[in-house]
Structure 1
């Protein structure tokens, strides 16, 4: 497994990635993430997940984004989006993606990784809790905020 930057050669394949239909309300499509990466290039870290030559997923991290409206807002980093292709789920690609984001945060001097998830049955809460994230008690856009100490 490896990560690759999104390039003119691979972006069209990235746009075709789709999660299972029952997950469509849990994560935005790749096209929205790429638009946000364009608008927020100082924070966004989009990457494609490959297994050999096969594209199996997309992730986008946020790096050192101000959290809160205070002038001394905390800077946070974490997983912004995770899209694993419907036929590639349950094979360790999501875990690999989260670990890769955490490694990037550590390499930049970070000590915590954040993520949000939709608090509903069939959502990714169990996945993130198994990886060691714990709810902070905060919400963001109606989603649960989780943190992992690195």
Structure 2
């Protein structure tokens, strides 16, 4: 896991998922713009296997979830996960989620949240295999899942 730097940003921008997954995940360029805009509440990282870039992951840190309903409900979790098409099925996604889990634990979080596009070709099954359970909530049309981590 490495931060995005001037030395690796071009590789990050070139990262592509499988074409049939593109509608399920936002491109890395969009995520990096959001990370810049959200500042310290975004935690973007690149996933490398040796010198090879295999993925991008971004966490959100301690953000208000629904201020109108419950101002005290602040959450942290997995904002984005992009694993390169050629790197899928090799454990990189699991590794990235575990790295986010470890970072959230280090920061004192006890739950890791994630949202995903519903549907047969969406990543829901991947997240369920990692132990996430659905909360019954929907955020921006996406299913909300949670994993107890501490």
Partner of 2:82: 83
More helix by share: 2
Partner of 1:23: 21
Determine the C-alpha separation between the residues in 1 that align with 2:126 and 2:31. Answer: 21
State whether residues 78 and 97 of structure 2, in contact with CA within 8 Å, keep that contact through their aligned partners in structure 1. Answer: yes
> Is 1:107 aligned to residue 124 of structure 2?
no
Partner of 1:4: 2
Correspondence list, 1:1-150, <5 A: 3-70=1-68, 72-150=71-149
User: Which 4+ residue blocks in structure 1 deviate beyond 6 angstroms?
Assistant: none
Determine the C-alpha separation between the residues in 2 that align with 1:73 and 1:33. Answer: 26
Structure 2 gap ranges (5+) = none
TM-score, structure 1 normalization: 0.97
Determine the C-alpha separation between the residues in 1 that align with 2:134 and 2:71. Answer: 23
Determine the C-alpha separation between the residues in 2 that align with 1:51 and 1:127. Answer: 21
How far the C-alpha of 1:18 sits from its partner, in A, is 0.4
Determine the C-alpha separation between the residues in 2 that align with 1:72 and 1:61. Answer: 21
State the aligned residue count.
148
TM-score, structure 2 normalization: 0.97
Determine the C-alpha separation between the residues in 1 that align with 2:30 and 2:51. Answer: 24
